[in-house]
Copies of this chain bind each other. A is one copy, B any other.
């Protein structure tokens, strides 16, 4: 065990897997000499050389499409989108080429798309998006979103080893803010949910950065015992863990940072409303970002992103229900 930042854990996982499996290569804009916009691949060029650490042209469709091609002839590309927002420019290749390949012709596409996502640091409308729901709505893509350094490393290694295209959502606001113990060596974390804190009166279901918001918001919340479920994986979605938590707590707040409509949180809430309805002692409360582009100016941005206060408020009201 060593203590690493969330960012350091991502680098560590990528490095370990590249050492273990020579089929793995990283490709993206400025991932080579510069080590990536966030320095995730800092030092990789020196260790693995230009054949396995590739600076690509500025072309997201090209990054995803060529990665698909490389993967069907035996490589394991890990693509970095400089910001998850730019995946919109490679959307078609990801959704239509990569996502539907195996179903159509039994040809596996083992690629990983690293998506630095989320807001909270005045990135503005084009550097703060949470695109995961688009990909949850695209059959054939897996989607994972770690909240801790340990899971960031393990889920990234799991994504690289997975024979399917995996969208790996790494939350930029966690990169250096979150530290934690990380096991040495290469290990794959299963694509399942994790109980971040046990509780009995209410459960907050979240993923990524919002897990930390949930923990902070419900820390010793007027003596109530609040469970926090960290989904970790959105596709596959750990339905059993969600239903079990609702069965146990009977009250649920679904929290995500993405724009509210048709977000991951909507799917979780809909699942509960259909399959755990009898277990509920109150409405399925959602806390999310309203349907606005993420504004740049700090007072505006913090007015839309789910805050500790808003989550605490929502939990208080539901507990009092």
Contacts and interface: CB of A to CB of B under 8 A. Distances in A.
Interface in A93-131: 95-96, 99-100, 103-104, 125-126
Contacts of A265: 270
Given A274-B286, A286-B274, A92 B100 contact: no
A277 interface: yes
B264 A262 contact: yes
A274 B99 CA distance: 32
B92 A96 contact: no
Contacts of A283: 273-275, 277-278
A285 interface: yes
A261 B236 CA distance: 11
Interface residues of A, number: 49
A136 interface: yes
Interface in A269-293: 269-270, 272-275, 277-278, 280, 282-286, 291-293
A264 B133 CA distance: 12
Contact of A262 (B99, B267, B274, B293): B267
A266 B137 CA distance: 11
A91 interface: yes
A78 B269 CA distance: 36
Contacts of A31: none
Nearest to A131: B137
Contact of A286 (B91, B270, B284): B270
